[in-house]
Amino acid sequence: MSACEDLAVAPRDIDPRPPADGCADCLAQGRRDWVHLRICLDCGHIGCCDFSPQRHATAHFHDTSHPVIRSYEPGEDWRWCFVHEVMG
Angle (CA) 65 67 69, round 5°: 125
Which amino acid does the sequence have at 34?
W
Which pTM value belongs to this model? 0.90
Backbone angles phi, psi at 2, to 5 degrees: -65, 150
Q: What is the pLDDT of residues 29-83, one digit of tens each?
A: 999 999 999 999 999 999 999 999 999 999 999 999 999 999 999 899 999 999 9
